[in-house]
């Protein structure tokens, strides 16, 4: 893998003809240390956000030792990446029976989530009625404070929790309740409200609960989406947790994905054509920009030139490289008005779901990865961001 000081250095020195993913291990390590030191409980990395083995090892080395896996493929991936170290929690509420059995038997997984009696029975069959299970019942909660809803597919309704919680309590060595407030939660109130629903479920079922898992949803920062500090989220969660009628030794968990991985990587693309305020670039909806195309997500962008442009910033939309009209990112993405074919652009904050969603559709893909030392384009963790990230390029290998 090549290493460079900066995104600008990659563009000017390599002049890549295909997209290049830039990774910043130092940014991921900083985010991991933040959660490990400041969240008032245990943090599980949600592997689906970015399943890079290098990222997983970086997070582990920086204090994130538990992992939220959602498939048997993710179980195998983390087990191999960490040589069996770390704790894996299979938090998808609907799993294949064979996947449960392999995870339990071959990979030491003891933590599973569920949201139905059918899933509980499946877990017990697949594990041979094991007596060493941590079972987390997923409660349906609102996504009203989040940019992307996760309220419709999974989770048991509050009025239907009693029977499931009581049955799971009988089967489990440790009983948990988990939920997910939706992706990119923009207010700590999302967690406060969800914890109140947890309280109601516990009181209704009158069971002893050992684990409260507040799930994911912790935000990152994007154009037009600047959330409060993560400490405010942690404070709200801690207050709610401390007020619950739970076991004195109960554990508090969370499952950050985006918040741990977004700053880890960005993508350098080349402008292949300009048509008015439309730029044709060599990555898009079927590459790292799925979210920009399909849900209108705006990512930070920067023109990578040795000399700063004096032109005013203008809103552009992007077309990706495929022959599909859906390969269109509306934006607006703010760039100097004189951007032209042959220019390079860095698109930032793609560590979450960028690489994970990439396909090879129409023959367009890229496996080029370069490690850089400069700061990510935005950060919830850096105390002060530089105005312009410029450095002399050094090729290290």
The catalytic residues are 323
Please tell me the distance from the alpha carbon of residue 325 to that of residue 336, in angstroms, as a whole number.
Answer: 25
CB 320 within 8 A of CB 283: yes
CA distances from 96 to 89, 121, 129, 133 (A): 15, 12, 16, 17
CB 348 within 8 A of CB 6: no
In the three-class reduction of DSSP (H, G, I as helix; E, B as strand; rest coil), residue 53 is classed as helix
Interior angle at CA 78, CA 74 and CA 84, nearest 5: 135
CA distances from 86 to 34, 66, 78 (A): 19, 6, 8
End-to-end CA distance of the chain: 7
Tokens 């089967």, residue located: 171
DSSP-assigned beta bridge partners for residue 191: none
């Amino acid at each position: 893998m090549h290493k460079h000081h900066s995104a600008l250095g990659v563009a000017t020195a390599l002049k890549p003809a295909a997209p290049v993913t830039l990774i910043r291990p130092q940014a991921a390590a900083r985010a991991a240390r933040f959660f490990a030191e400041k969240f008032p409980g245990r943090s599980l990395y949600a592997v689906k956000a970015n399943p890079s083995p290098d990222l997983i090892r970086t997070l582990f080395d920086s204090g994130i030792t538990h992992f939220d896996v959602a498939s048997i493929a993710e179980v195998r991936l983390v087990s191999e990446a960490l040589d069996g170290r770390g704790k894996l929690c299979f938090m998808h509420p609907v799993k294949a029976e064979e996947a449960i059995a392999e995870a339990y038997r071959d990979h030491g997984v003891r933590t599973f989530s569920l949201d139905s009696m059918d899933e509980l029975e499946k877990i017990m069959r697949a594990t041979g009625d094991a007596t060493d299970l941590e079972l987390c019942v997923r409660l349906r909660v609102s996504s009203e404070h989040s940019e992307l809803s996760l309220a419709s597919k999974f989770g048991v309704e509050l009025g239907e929790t009693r029977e499931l919680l009581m049955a799971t309590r009988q089967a489990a060595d440790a009983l948990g309740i988990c939920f997910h407030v939706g992706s990119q939660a923009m207010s700590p109130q999302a967690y406060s409200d969800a914890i109140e629903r947890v309280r109601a479920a516990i009181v209704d079922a009158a069971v002893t609960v050992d684990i409260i898992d507040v799930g994911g949803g912790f935000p990152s920062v994007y154009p037009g989406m600047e959330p409060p500090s993560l400490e405010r989220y942690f404070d709200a969660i801690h207050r709610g947790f401390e007020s619950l009628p739970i076991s004195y030794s109960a554990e508090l968990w969370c499952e950050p994905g985006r918040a741990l991985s977004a700053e880890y990587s960005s993508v350098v693309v080349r402008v292949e054509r300009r048509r008015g305020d439309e730029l044709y670039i060599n990555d898009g909806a079927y590459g790292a920009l799925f979210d920009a195309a399909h849900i209108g997500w705006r990512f930070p962008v920067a023109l990578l030139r040795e000399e700063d442009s004096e032109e005013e910033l203008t809103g552009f939309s992007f077309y990706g490289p495929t022959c599909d009209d859906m390969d269109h990112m509306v934006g607006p993405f703010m760039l100097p008005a004189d951007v032209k074919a042959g220019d390079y652009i860095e698109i930032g904050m793609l560590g979450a779901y960028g690489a994970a969603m990439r396909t090879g559709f129409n023959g367009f893909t890229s496996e080029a990865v370069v490690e850089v030392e400069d700061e990510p384009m935005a950060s919830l963790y850096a105390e002060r961001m530089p105005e312009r990230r410029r450095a002399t390029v050094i090729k290290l290998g």
